[in-house]
Structure 1
Amino acid sequence: MPSADLLSRFRDRLSLPLIAAPMFLVSGVELVVAACRNGVIGAFPTVNCRSPEQLDEWLTDIDGRLKTHSDVSGKPAAPVCANLIVHRSNARLAQDLQVLLRHRPEMVITSVGSPAPVIEPLHEAGALVFADVASIRHAERAVAAGADGLVLLTAGAGGQTGWLNPFVFVRAVRAFFDGPLVLAGGIADGHALRAAEALGCDLAYMGTKFIATRESMADERYKHMLVTSSADDILLTTAFTGLQTNMLRPSIEAAGLDPDNLPQRGAIDIAEDIDIGARENRPKRWKDIWSAGHAVSGVGELLDADEMIARTVAEYREASAHIRLG
């Protein structure tokens, strides 16, 4: 089915072809609601909730706050999108899935594994299922499993990232898949978002700039570090997770570690690598050692999500006008 047919169910509710990326320990109720009421798809990982019960509470709260919302043009809110970790290490997968099925989401993104086990029940509940992928081979497998859309993790994405150039990745996948594509990595403003569309994508992720909004759950020190950092401060390393991960060098230094002398493979036990006192006070990845994408160079100040999205809309319109004039 062509991408336009799949996305037509909610395209007119979007102010931008944009997803506020689901980010561990960052995306919560306030950020999702702010994104959706401004015409941006609001996504969050279900594991950000302490339990399946809290996931149910979050979805109920978000739905209640958005149900009667419309923006100045009268459009209803953009969709809410849950992100399911489908790897076998997620002991809550089955329970979280059942919660989602009760809430009948419009869109779900699967991560860290094949979407195959959850596609049928989510389709029966009316959801579009997008799978995030970091290689052409994984994209082919997700399409074969029945994913409706793909999130292409490219070299510029924050956190656990891809490694392919976005131009190459998008065009290679477009050669065999005509469904919805989402570009993840390097989207710092409306100009980059318009470029992603010109490349062949239907939507894009914006993550790092949403971390630096007042509605995000991120530590205030984290937010301010993003403002003072640039793309030169991003370090690609396997040291903390065992997978290729884009992390902020200043946060590694603040934890007492040398960014230029980290293990090459495998998550390190920080308490054994740094003498900082009691083990319970040791720095923790994600909570003390923070991630960001190459788009950090586009973070200039802390903003409300409303203002950040409004600026992105203006940039996107400017970029679109230039393309038409060209």
Structure 2
Amino acid sequence: MRTAFTELVGVRHPVVQTGMGWVAGPRLVAATAEAGGLGILASATMGLRELDAAIAETRGRTAHPFGVNLRADAVDAADRVDLLIRHGVRVASFALAPEPELIARLADAGVVVIPSVGAARHAEKVAAWGAHAVIVQGGEGGGHTGGVATTLLLPSVVDAVDIPVVAAGGFFDGRGLAAALAYGAAGVAMGTRFLLTRESTVPDAVKRAYLERGLDGTVVTTRVDGLPHRVLRTDLVDRLERSGRVGGLLRALANAARFRAHTGLSWPAMVREGLAMRHGRDLRWSQVVMAANTPMLLRSGLVDGRTDAGVLASGQVVGLLDDLPTCEELITGVVEQATAIVHGLNRTV
């Protein structure tokens, strides 16, 4: 299935596996690439040397294009960009809008730049700065999310820009891909659906916890890091919702220290990242500290398997999932179903 997105990136199918922290490692990314989609390696939870090794491992597992997700506000963002260029990574995706200079450096080196956006005005801004495509996530999506549904947000972005738009938030099968194409998108991006595949390294017990959820099994909370965050409803999340600000701040400080030790960042570097996070956003310092808390809460669940002590980011689509396909089975099934739907519509109109 060829679209403007597949032509731009050089993949066979317009299906993207998103850069989920602690989940999107070399095994999952390479399996997605081998199946014809675009796998995106999550780097926000990695130190620079760890990222270097992860890119090399992914390259060793597949010769097909893949991407790396970067934090535009990271203190070592420029070093990470140099790393992508040196390794010849095909795609750089960003959760926040990168500065025009960063986009230009990547584009000059032949790297495709794809920021994620949550509003049409954001898409217009990064398109004007030279971004090659955008991923737009509606409120159904997991992790940090907005309040506008994909069915409204997607057409507003498609109408606002003339670069390829990839739709995220609520997608899991070929019906969603066909619908996204009908809206004018050039592909779909999925997170929770890829988390629940056989190549995902998330512990089996955690995968079962996801598969047991219904459509009401997620909640949007600001108690994880101060920003709206869609996660599974768990006893821990309920406790976070009930906890006072002081208790939450002390817990966040402890987890910030653990994350510093894991990544090798110095305390001054973490402070600089906190300042970068506050720039352009109305965040209290307590919220900045809480943001450093997030990676370790996610790691407890997604890596350590601690459903009792970890936070499990999830899209609403989890309530419709009941299996663990391989990436090959998933992508092939999505594309075949979407193709059949599109051809069927052509015969009936």
TM-score scaled by length of structure 2: 0.77
* Structure-2 residue corresponding to 1:304: 326
Deviations 1:6-50 (A, max 9, x none): 752545x41x3110111011000000110000001011222243x
* CA-CA distance at 1:231 after TM superposition: 2.2
2:135/2:166 contact within 8 Å kept: yes
CA–CA distance in structure 1, aligned partners of residues 247 and 121 of structure 2: 25
* 1:179-194 paired onto structure 2 within 5 Å: 179-194=163-178
Letter aligned with residue 55 of structure 1: L
* CA-CA distance at 1:95 after TM superposition: 1.9
CA–CA distance in structure 2, aligned partners of residues 267 and 168 of structure 1: 38
Deviations 1:276-307 (A, max 9, x none): xxxxxx99521311110011123202233233
Corresponding position: 1:240 with 2:252: no
CA–CA distance in structure 2, aligned partners of residues 54 and 120 of structure 1: 25
1:84/1:93 contact within 8 Å kept: yes
Label 1:310 to 1:298 Cα distance change in 2 as closer, same or farther (>3 A). farther
Letter aligned with residue 132 of structure 1: S
* 1:52-91 paired onto structure 2 within 5 Å: 52-67=48-63, 77=64, 79-87=65-73, 90-91=74-75
CA–CA distance in structure 1, aligned partners of residues 246 and 72 of structure 2: 21
Corresponding position: 1:20 with 2:32: no
CA–CA distance in structure 2, aligned partners of residues 270 and 222 of structure 1: 27
What is the DSSP-based 3-state SS (H/G/I as helix, E as strand, rest coil) of the residue aligned with 2:297?
A: coil
* Structure-2 residue corresponding to 1:130: 114
Instruction: Please give the root-mean-square deviation of Cα atoms over the aligned residues, in Å.
Output: 2.6
* Structure-1 residue corresponding to 2:248: 268
Q: Which has the higher helix share?
A: 2
2:16/2:37 contact within 8 Å kept: yes
* Structure-1 residue corresponding to 2:298: 286
Deviations 1:63-83 (A, max 9, x none): 23223xxxxxxxxx3x20111
Letter aligned with residue 61 of structure 1: E
* CA-CA distance at 1:324 after TM superposition: 2.1
Corresponding position: 1:257 with 2:241: no
1:241/1:267 contact within 8 Å kept: no
Label 1:104 to 1:325 Cα distance change in 2 as closer, same or farther (>3 A). same
Letter aligned with residue 31 of structure 1: L
Corresponding position: 1:34 with 2:31: yes
What is the DSSP-based 3-state SS (H/G/I as helix, E as strand, rest coil) of the residue aligned with 1:23?
A: coil
1:158/1:207 contact within 8 Å kept: yes
Corresponding pairs, count:
295
* Structure-2 residue corresponding to 1:45: 42
Label 1:317 to 1:243 Cα distance change in 2 as closer, same or farther (>3 A). same
Letter aligned with residue 48 of structure 2: P
Label 1:139 to 1:267 Cα distance change in 2 as closer, same or farther (>3 A). farther
What is the DSSP-based 3-state SS (H/G/I as helix, E as strand, rest coil) of the residue aligned with 1:286?
A: helix
What is the DSSP-based 3-state SS (H/G/I as helix, E as strand, rest coil) of the residue aligned with 1:39?
A: coil
Gaps of 5+ in 1: 68-76, 273-281
Letter aligned with residue 314 of structure 2: A
The correspondence for 2:152, drawn from 144, 148, 168, is 168
2:9/2:91 contact within 8 Å kept: no
Deviations 1:182-231 (A, max 9, x none): 11100011111111111110011111011112222323332111111122
Using the TM superposition, name which of 314-323 and 202-211 deviates more. Answer: 314-323
* Structure-1 residue corresponding to 2:131: 147
What is the DSSP-based 3-state SS (H/G/I as helix, E as strand, rest coil) of the residue aligned with 1:35?
A: helix
TM-score scaled by length of structure 1: 0.82
Label 1:39 to 1:123 Cα distance change in 2 as closer, same or farther (>3 A). same
Bigger relative contact order (CA 8 A; separation at least 6): 2
